[in-house]
Structure formats: structure tokens, C-alpha cells
Structure 1
């Protein structure tokens, strides 16, 4: 993991330590990433409500409120439970354009104890903004977030 993501992971840990409220933690992690990462225009969470993804805490322009599973980059990440790294959103079949300025996107699925919780979504106005370093760093931060959920059984 890069030095930047190591530092961000430490900061994320410090923000969520001892806090179990998923909305509060998502809000702080969104703000942390939005303000620390260059060339991003949207950072936020979508939560799975049992039927579809519903927008949660985020930083950036107003967002699409609901996304069906399997639709767009977020819905694909939720369905496949695999991080989606998209260098050009216009080349992604079924892309949902919530912000016309977005050109690249990375979406990390949030799965806890085998249950889909939602996704962590980042957009950039630059094509090819996200890479494998971002994937590893953001997946690590997603894990920090998921650990705050504790045992949901």
C-alpha cells in the first residue's frame, strides 16, 4: 500500500475508533477521502436496503438517490461483490451519469459477514484517475469501515 493510503488508513482508524454508528463513520470517511485525494469530484457511500442501493453520506454534487443492483458501476460492484475500477465511465455499459463531469470511477463493495452492506464510490473528472494503488488503499479503508459494524447477527 502507498504511503498516502497508509496515512489515510491511520486517519480513518482514528476517526472511527470506538464509534459504531454506520452513518457517522461513513460521513467522516467520505470527508476524509474527499479532502485528501486529488482529482476526485465525488466520494460517498451507497447502502443496500434489501432491494437496491440508496445514497448515504457523501461529499460532492447531489447524487442519484437509488441504484438498482446490477445497474451502473455501483450496482455492478454490489452484484459481483468485486471492486470495479473504471478508467472511462463512458465506455462502461450501463453507466449512470449522476454527475456529467465524472470520467473515471472506482467502487468498492462493502460486504460484512457475507452480507451486502453497500458500496464505497469515488468519481473523478479525469479519465484513468484510479489505479491498483487506489484499489488496494480504498479496499483497506473499506475494511476499516466494515470493522466498525461489529457482529450484526
Structure 2
């Protein structure tokens, strides 16, 4: 399924006001993981109150011990500080990588902004080496913009 064909489905999920925000975020995770072959773990992390750390939100994929990530630690923690997309073609080449699973080969993290503030991010792990393209970045930026409208 193409990114363009997934966009209206993301919009539909976001507009389901009868569901909680977490239910809608989980539905987005499920949509992406089910329809993009190389998205093997899809989840959201959000700033944990006033603390300089991220807290795991809804996700699909293998369970993770990384429910709290300090700012600056790992790929997600770095995005919390840099406010920029981070695409990792080969996690083994990253010094500041937090291993979630030995099967993970690549990761992409895109920040979510509300009123100009980085309040969280979407994090995607892939068991495929170097699968992410600029098209993934643009699509996930769209997803994050939709999610920002919920928050």
C-alpha cells in the first residue's frame, strides 16, 4: 500500500472522536505496521510532564523495556533535543543507540510539534537494513502533523 493511499486512512482515524486519543494513536500504529512491510515496530513517545525524558505511549510490535528515555539518550532522546528528524540506516553504526531487539537493523524518528514545541515523536524500527527513504520522512511528517491536531 502506498503512502498516498494511507493518508486518508490516517485522517479518518484521527477524526474518530468517539475513541480516546490513545485508541486513535494505537490505530495509527496498527495501520502503519500492518501496511508497510518494513515497519516492524511502530510507537509514540511523549515528553513526560516537566521532566527531561520521554514516556512510551501507544505502540505495536515486540514489547520494550524502554518505557522512559532520558533526553539525549538513544535516537529518540536525541530527537527530543535536536527537534529534527533522525533516520538511522544501520543501528549498529550508532554509538548512542538503545538496542530494543537484536532483529532491529534501522530506525526512523520524527518529532511531533504542537504550537512550535516538540511534545513527542513517532518511532519506527525496521528489521530490514537501510529501508527508509525521503518518502518515509515526508509521510511520517504528515502523520505527525495529523497527530499534533489531536493533542
Question: CA separation in 2, counterparts of 1:143 and 1:75?
Answer: 20
CA RMSD of aligned residues (A): 1.5
Q: TM-score, normalised by structure 2?
A: 0.91
SS at 2:2 equivalent:
helix
Structure 1: give runs of 5+ residues left out of the alignment: none
Please list, as runs of the form range in 1=range in 2, the aligned pairs for 1:2-81 lying within 5 A after superposition: 4-19=2-17, 21-49=20-48, 50-51=50-51, 52-63=53-64, 64-81=66-83
Deviations 1:76-135 (A, max 9, x none): 111111110110011112100011210100001111112222110000011101111100
Structure 2: give runs of 5+ residues left out of the alignment: none
The more displaced of 13-22 and 48-57 is 13-22
Aligned partner of 1:134 among 136, 139, 142? 136
Question: CA separation in 2, counterparts of 1:139 and 1:82?
Answer: 11
State how many pairs are aligned.
147
Deviations 1:5-58 (A, max 9, x none): 111111000111152843122111111111011122200101111321111110
| Residue 90 (structure 2) aligns with | 88
Question: CA separation in 2, counterparts of 1:42 and 1:69?
Answer: 21
Q: Is the counterpart of residue 118 in structure 1 residue 120 in structure 2?
A: yes
Question: CA separation in 1, counterparts of 2:122 and 2:88?
Answer: 14
Question: CA separation in 2, counterparts of 1:37 and 1:81?
Answer: 25
Q: TM-score, normalised by structure 1?
A: 0.90
Question: CA separation in 2, counterparts of 1:99 and 1:22?
Answer: 28
